[in-house]
C-alpha cells in the first residue's frame, strides 16, 4: 500500500523500501508519539525525522551536536529537495535573518539547531511563535554522562519538555547500552516513548584484529591493499597521528592528519578534503568522527587499542554506511595496554577509573579471544549472534588457536619462583635457559624452570608473555617492586584448573605459514582478501562467480562495468564540484553501482535506480544519462 510516507520515500529519497524500523519510527512520529531509537551507525536515522518533516504540519527542529554535522545534513537534505536549514554560531547575521524569513514563510520545514541555541530564551520564544511539530534529538547519547561522548550543552535539552510540553520529542542514537537509554529517556522526560533497539549487526563490515609488528608498515600495507578507497585510520596519540600521516605521505598516499592539536582552520580543511574525496585517507585521534556522514568510507583501521568496545564499534561503524562491503583492521600491542593504564591510573574519580578499567578488560578480551568477533561485539550490546559470521578474521579461518597451557605454566612458574619481581625479558631468559651475571647472582640458574622452554626462542616467549598479560593471567606490578605477577586467573591455569588457548602467533611471525588454514598467500593484513575483491571489481575474469559487494544475486562485475563505474565516479566528482557538495551527497557508491548494472536510458528508468529521487533526477539526470549513452556508444568517458 502506498502510504504518504512510502510515496515520499521513493519520490524524494529515491529508496524503494524502508530499512529496518524506519517505517515504524516514522509512523510513531507522524502520530505524535515520543520515541527513543537506538539504531546502528548507518542504520538510516536521519531519514526517520527528515521524511516526517515533509508531512508534518509545522516545523521539525533537529538538535545536533556539531556544526559540521548540521552543515552536511542540511546539504544532503537539500540535494534531495528537502527544505532544510540550520542555525548556529557559524552563520552571519544576514544568513540567519534569511533562515528566519524562510521559516516564517513556510519555505523551511526542517531546522537544525545546536543545543546552545536552544538555551537562548528569545530563540525559544521564536519557536513558540512559529509552531513546532517535532523535536528530534540526534546523537542523543551526548546527554548521558555514561555515554562515550558526553556533551554538557546537551543538558540544556531538559528545557524542551518543560517549555514545550505538548510537542513530541524523538531521540536518536547509535549507542546501545541500556544505561544510556535510561539516561536519555529520563533527561528528555520522554512520555511512554516507543522504544526501538535495532539490530546492531553491520554485516557489511569485516572485522579483523592483528598484533602490531612495525605498525606503520602494517598500516601502509593495508592502505595499499585498498587502492582508490577512502578510509580512516585512528591512532591513540597526536604524535602517532602525525607519524602515520607522514609515513603514508612518504609512501605516495594522499593522507591528512586530524587531531585536537591542529588549528580549527586546518582541521576543517582536512575534514573537508576527506569528505569531498580530495584526499583518500584521514589519520585521526578519536576527536574525528562524530558527524562524518560520508557514506563511502570503505575501511577503518585502528593503529592502537581503542578505549572501549563501544568506541571501537562506533569508529568502525563509520565504514560502509552505504551498505556496501567495508573492511576494518585493529592493530594492537602490549605497549598500548600500558599507555591506557597510564591514563587510567591518573583518573581522579573512582567511578570513572573503574569504568575505564572495565572497558579495557572488555577490549582485551575481544582482541585476544579466539571467538567470532561479530558475536562478541553484538553480545556487548546484549544481542545474540550464532557465532559464525563469515566476515571476521576468526570465522574466515585466519586465526589459529593452539593450546598453550603447558607453556603458560612454564612462564608463570618462572614468575612465581623468581618472586614476582622481574619483567618479561628476564622471565623469557630464565625459561629459555640463558644465564648471565644477574641470573647467577640470584641463583636462578638453579631453578627447575631454568631452560624448560629452550624449544622456543626468546621472542616467542615474549609473545606468549604478552598474550598471558592481555588475557589477564599475569599483570604488571607498579612501583618499587615492579615486575610481572600472577593474577587469580593465572593461578587457575598454573595449578591445572583451567586451560590456556591462544592464537598461534608463529603464523603471524611468518615462520609457520603452513599452519594457517584456508589462506595460502602471505598477507597478514587482509590485503589478500581485499586483493581478490579488487580483482572482481576491476573485472578479473578469472574471478567469475564471486559476488559483487552489496548485491544478493551475485552478478559478475566485468571490465567494462568497472570502466563505466570509474567514469561515473568522475562525472559525480564534476557534478559535486559544481554543486559545491561532497560527491557522496550527489550519488552514493551504491547508486553508481546500480547505474552501472541497469544502464538507464531514460528519466523513468533513472528514477527506478536506488537513491535517485525526483530532485536528483532533475538536477543530474541529463548529465548521467548522457555519460552512460556516450560510454556505451564510444567507450569514451565525458567526465
Ligand atoms: P545514521 O544516522 O543512522 O548513522 P544515516 O541517516 O546517515 O545513518 O544513513 C546512512 C545511509 O543510509 C545514508 O547514506 C542514507 O542515504 C542511507 N539510507 C537511509 N535510509 C535508507 C533506505 N530506506 N534505503 C536505502 N538507503 C537508506
Ligand atoms: Mg546520524
The pLDDT, as a whole number, for residue 550 is 38
Q: How far apart are CA 234 and CA 251, in angstroms?
A: 18
Q: Cell numbers 585521526 label which residue?
A: 284
Enumerate residues lining ligand 1, CB below 6 A. 15, 18-19, 22, 39, 41-47, 174, 293, 295, 321-322, 588
Q: What 8-state DSSP symbol labels residue 11?
A: I
Pick out the chain residues at pLDDT < 50.
Answer: 507-554
Give the pLDDT of residue 32.
97
Could you count the other beta carbons within 10 Å of the beta carbon of residue 151?
A: 17
Rg of the chain on CA atoms, in Å: 27
Return the pLDDT at 533. Answer: 31
pLDDT the model gives residue 68: 81
Bridge partner residues of 179 (DSSP): none
Mean pLDDT of the chain: 87
Ligand 2 midpoint to CA 204 (Å): 18
Element spanning 599, H or E: none
Q: Which ligand is nearest to the CA of 320?
A: 1
**What CATH class is the domain 559-634?**
mainly alpha
Output the nine-digit C-alpha cell for 116: 546552545
- Cell numbers placing 164: 514545550
Predicted local confidence at residue 478, as pLDDT? 63
Residue 239 is placed in which grid cell? 604524535
- Measured CA to CA, the distance from residue 168 to residue 28 in angstroms comes to 10
Give the pLDDT of residue 466. Answer: 77
**What per-residue confidence (pLDDT) applies to 547?**
33
Distance between CA 125 and CA 549 in Å, rounded? 50
Residues present in the chain in total: 639
pLDDT at 506: 59
Q: Do domains 4-197 and 205-337 have the same CATH topology?
A: yes
Closest CA to 533 of 144, 112, 226, 192: 226
* CA–centroid distance, residue 550 to ligand 1 (Å): 15
Contact of 461 with 432, CB cutoff 8 Å: yes
How many CB atoms within 10 Å of residue 598? 14
Nearest ligand, CA of residue 37?
A: 1
DSSP SS3 for 205: strand
Indicate the top mutation candidate among 35, 42, 84 to test ligand 1's pocket, ranked by most ligand atoms within 8 A of CB.
42
- Give the CATH number of domain 400-519: 1.10.10.10
Decide if domain 205-337 falls under CATH 3.20.20.140: no
Quick one: pLDDT at residue 371? Answer: 72
Model pLDDT, residue 481: 61
- Given this model, what pLDDT does residue 619 score? 96
Instruction: Tell me the C-alpha distance between 343 and 304, whole Å.
Output: 14
Q: How far is the CA of 46 from the centre of ligand 2 (A)?
A: 6
Domain map (residue ranges) of the chain = 4-197, 205-337, 400-519, 559-634
Pair type for strands 501-503 and 401-403:
antiparallel
- Cα(88) to centroid of ligand 1, in Å? 24
Q: Is 543 in a helix, a strand, or coil?
A: helix
pLDDT at 402: 86
Question: Can you tell me the distance from the alpha carbon of 567 to that of 565, in angstroms, rounded to the nearest whole number?
Answer: 5
483 forms beta bridges with: 477
- Cα–chain-centroid distance for residue 579? 28
The pLDDT value recorded for residue 525 is 37
Residue 160's nearest CA partner among 119, 130, 194 is: 119
Do 581 and 75 contact (CB within 8 A), yes or no?
Answer: yes
Q: How far is the CA of 600 from the centre of ligand 1 (A)?
A: 23
CATH number given to 4-197: 3.40.50.300
User: Which ligand sits nearest to residue 49's alpha carbon?
Assistant: 1
Amino acid at each position: 500500500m502506498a502510504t504518504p510516507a512510502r510515496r515520499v520515500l521513493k519520490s524524494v529519497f529515491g529508496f524503494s523500501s524502508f530499512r529496518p524500523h524506519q517505517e515504524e519510527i516514522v509512523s510513531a512520529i507522524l502520530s505524535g508519539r515520543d520515541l527513543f531509537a537506538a539504531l546502528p551507525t548507518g542504520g538510516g536515522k536521519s531519514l526517520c525525522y527528515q521524511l516526517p518533516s515533509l508531512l508534518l504540519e509545522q516545523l521539525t527542529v533537529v538538535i545536533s551536536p556539531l556544526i559540521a554535522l548540521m552543515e552536511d545534513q542540511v546539504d544532503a537534505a537539500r540535494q534531495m529537495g528537502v527544505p532544510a536549514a540550520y542555525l548556529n554560531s557559524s552563520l552571519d547575521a544576514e544568513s540567519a535573518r534569511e533562515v528566519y524569513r524562510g521559516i516564517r514563510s513556510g519555505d523551511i520545514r526542517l531546522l537544525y539547531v545546536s543545543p546552545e541555541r536552544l538555551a537562548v530564551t528569545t530563540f525559544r520564544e521564536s519557536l513558540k511563535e512559529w509552531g513546532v511539530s517535532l523535536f528530534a534529538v540526534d546523537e542523543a547519547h551526548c546527554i548521558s554522562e555514561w555515554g562515550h561522548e558526553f556533551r554538557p550543552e546537551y543538558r540544556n535539552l531538559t528545557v524542551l519538555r518543560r517549555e514545550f510540553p505538548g510537542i513530541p520529542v524523538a531521540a536518536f542514537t547509535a549507542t546501545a547500552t541500556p544505561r544510556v537509554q535510561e539516561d536519555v529517556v529520563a533527561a528528555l522526560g520522554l512520555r511512554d516513548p516507543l522504544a526501538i533497539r535495532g539490530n546492531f549487526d553491520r554485516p557489511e563490515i569485516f572485522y579483523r584484529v592483528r598484533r602490531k609488528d612495525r605498525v606503520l608498515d602494517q598500516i601502509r600495507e593495508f592502505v595499499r591493499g585498498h587502492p582508490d578507497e577512502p578510509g580512516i585510520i585512528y591512532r591513540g596519540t597526536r604524535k602517532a597521528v602525525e607519524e602515520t600521516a607522514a609515513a603514508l605521505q612518504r609512501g605516495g598516499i594522499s593522507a591528512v592528519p586530524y587531531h585536537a592539536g591542529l588549528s580549527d582552520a586546518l582541521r576543517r580543511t582536512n575534514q573537508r578534503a576527506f569528505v569531498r574525496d580530495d584526499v583518500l585517507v584521514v589519520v585521526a585521534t578519536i576527536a574525528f568522527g562524530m558527524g562524518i556522514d560520508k557514506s563511502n568510507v570503505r575501511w577503518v583501521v585502528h593503529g592502537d587499542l581503542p578505549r572501549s568496545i563501544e568506541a571501537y564499534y562506533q569508529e568502525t561503524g563509520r565504514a560502509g554506511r552505504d551498505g556496501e562491503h567495508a573492511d576494518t583492521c585493529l592493530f594492537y600491542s602490549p605497549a598500548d595496554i600500558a599507555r591506557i593504564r597510564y591514563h587510567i591510573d591518573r583518573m581522579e574519580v573512582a567511578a570513572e577509573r573503574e569504568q575505564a578499567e572495565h572497558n579495557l578488560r572488555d577490549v582485551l578480551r575481544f582482541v585476544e579471544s579466539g571467538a567470532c568477533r561479530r558475536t562478541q561485539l553484538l553480545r556487548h550490546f546484549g544481542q545474540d549472534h550464532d557465532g559464525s559470521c563469515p566476515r571476521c578474521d576468526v570465522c574466515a579461518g585466519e586465526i589459529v588457536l593452539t593450546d598453550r597451557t603447558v607453556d603458560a605454566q612454564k612462564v608463570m612458574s618462572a614468575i612465581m619462583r623468581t618472586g614476582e619481581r622481574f619483567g618479561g625479558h628476564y622471565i623469557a631468559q630464565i625459561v629459555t635457559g640463558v644465564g648471565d651475571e644477574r641470573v647467577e647472582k640470584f641463583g636462578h640458574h638453579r631453578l627447575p624452570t631454568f631452560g624448560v622452554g629452550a624449544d622456543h626462542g626468546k621472542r616467542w616467549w615474549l609473545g606468549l608473555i604478552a598474550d598471558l598479560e592481555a588475557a589477564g593471567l599475569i599483570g604488571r606490578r607498579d612501583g618499587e617492586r615492579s615486575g610481572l605477577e600472577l593474577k587469580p586467573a593465572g593461578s587457575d591455569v598454573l595449578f591445572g584448573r583451567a586451560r590456556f588457548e591462544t592464537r598461534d602467533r608463529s603464523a603471524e611471525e611468518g615462520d609457520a605459514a603452513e599452519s594457517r588454514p584456508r589462506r595460502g598467500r602471505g598477507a597478514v593484513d587482509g590485503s589478500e582478501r581485499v586483493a581478490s575483491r579488487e580483482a572482481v571489481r576491476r573485472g578479473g575474469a578469472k574471478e567469475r562467480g564471486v559476488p559483487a559487494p552489496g548485491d544478493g544475486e551475485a552478478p559478475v562485475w566485468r571490465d567494462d562495468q568497472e570502466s563505466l563505474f570509474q567514469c561515473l565516479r568522475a562525472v559525480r566528482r564534476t557534478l559535486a564540484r559544481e554543486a559545491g557538495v561532497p560527491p557522496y551527497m550527489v550519488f552514493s557508491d551504491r547508486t553508481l553501482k546500480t547505474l552501472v548494472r541497469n544502464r538507464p536510458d531514460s528519466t523513468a528508468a533513472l528514477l527506478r535506480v536506488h537513491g535517485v529521487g525526483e530532485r536528483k533526477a532533475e538536477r543530474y539526470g541529463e548529465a548521467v544519462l548522457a555519460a552512460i549513452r556516450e560510454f556505451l556508444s564510444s567507450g569514451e568517458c565525458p567526465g
